[in-house]
Chain A
């Protein structure tokens, strides 16, 4: 009986075999080419330069740093996020192109770490955005960071790392937690609900009481006015 239980259940693959091969290829390439956006919030950032440069060299795994959220695949949160920072982290996360992954480095992102009693930090990162991987430690060494990223690569390759879909499926939950911190009129420039419809990722948790609250407060977005420096109003003395 015990041996019978161990027999793996293989899901029967359906669809066009050529498309399946193609999907596998894209997944493999996704896992072998990861552009990271390191949002260096806390002290954990100090372990990233050695992980990237000659001592540990992340580029041999195909991981390289990028500078703008549009280009990146991984959002790397390295340490405690204060409430002010968290707003920016969420804006950054929503601008990244999916599939996107969030990696929380340091214990502070897991449960607040030594900032547990602080009134100014957000404790658990995964209440505000879906996190694919935590690397615990105060702070984790570069080896740990790299082995964590390798684990993420395996999960991407096998198709398990799809928590970016969770943000669309359970948007109400994440928005609720965000509203709790930032107030009821919290609004980001990205329209997540329309995006969820576009990707056909509407889940049961996409809409709810918090998104209704958002609709009440939502202001239409306007493009920023383009101005040259000398047009900016001087402060009145």
Chain B
């Protein structure tokens, strides 16, 4: 591929991810509103929020690590987008593979931990401790699921995994071939989004939004942008692994929005678990399902 073409793809993919991600945030808030019988925010609300936060006069920085932490939080996802194939664009997905992607998806949490650490706010520290514990909880089923899919496909190349599923049609989709892994993956994905009942590290009523408590202005704005990327990355990864990716933008977007709608609509019906409950739940059910699914695949 020509370097110019690659460069264009590498710019376009995060950009598209951001726009789609903002629409996913909007969908999430609209679903929450509908469940609570409200109308919900207007269409451009996520954009208004982000522009406003970046346009504030006061920008309180707590130091260099604080700045770098936010950049890491966003940058980890931006790098992850270039490894996620979308219809018509593969970026560097063929060279990266699933394992690199998995690593890149952990960077934001670590960056956040660094940044929040410098704020020296006890609520933030508790929040980040919980976030890392939650990562420990959902990463084990996630790794089992991704290993299972890669083992069944015989490759960690996401482009090939998608191509095989698309060539074989619906019967070869991951969700049909490996239903147990798909269910385990859905639960792990839900936990990785950090929504209720797994919302242990935001918890506004208890630890005042945890990691976000000292963030203001563009730092909070950066976290809002990160959330757009997070929703996009998780749902597109799931679509690529289990739902055959997308042949056209139309079915790609429909699939990824639908996949995201499942955890989001569950989320606003439930209160929240405690940290140890989350750990117990995550290490029991999705891990068990995942291991049985793995046994079927092998």
Contact = CB atoms under 8 A, between A and B. Distances in A.
A70 B66 CA distance: 15
A231 interface: no
Given A53-B36, A97-B217, A70 B41 contact: no
A26 interface: yes
Chain B's interface size range is 20 to 34
A53 B35 CA distance: 11
A29 B212 contact: no
Nearest to A195: B58
Interface stretch (B49-57, B264-272, B288-296): B49-57
A98 B56 contact: yes
Interface of A is mostly: loop
Contacts of A199: 57
Interface string A189-225: 0000000000100000000000000000000000100
A152 to B, nearest CB: 14
B209 interface: yes
B60 interface: yes
A99 B45 CA distance: 19
Nearest to A65: B204
B57 A29 contact: no
A71 B33 CA distance: 22
Contacts of A28: 48
Interface string A9-46: 00000000000000001101110110000000000000
B59 to A, nearest CB: 7
Nearest to A23: B55
Interface of B is mostly: loop
Chain A's interface size range is 20 to 34
Interface stretch (A56-64, A116-124, A131-139, A179-187): A56-64
Interface in B176-213: 204-205, 208-209, 212-213
A188 interface: no
A26 B51 contact: yes
A59 B33 contact: yes
A147 interface: no
Interface of A: 25-26, 28-30, 32-33, 53-54, 57, 59-60, 62, 66-68, 70-71, 73, 96-99, 199, 223, 226
Interface of B: 29, 33, 36-42, 44-45, 47-49, 51-52, 55-60, 120, 204-205, 208-209, 212-217, 220
27 contacts: A26-B52, A29-B47, A29-B55, A30-B52, A32-B42, A33-B48, A53-B38, A57-B33, A57-B39, A59-B33, A59-B39, A59-B41, A60-B38, A62-B41, A62-B48, A67-B208, A67-B209, A68-B212, A70-B214, A70-B216, A71-B212, A71-B216, A97-B59, A97-B217, A98-B56, A98-B57, A99-B56
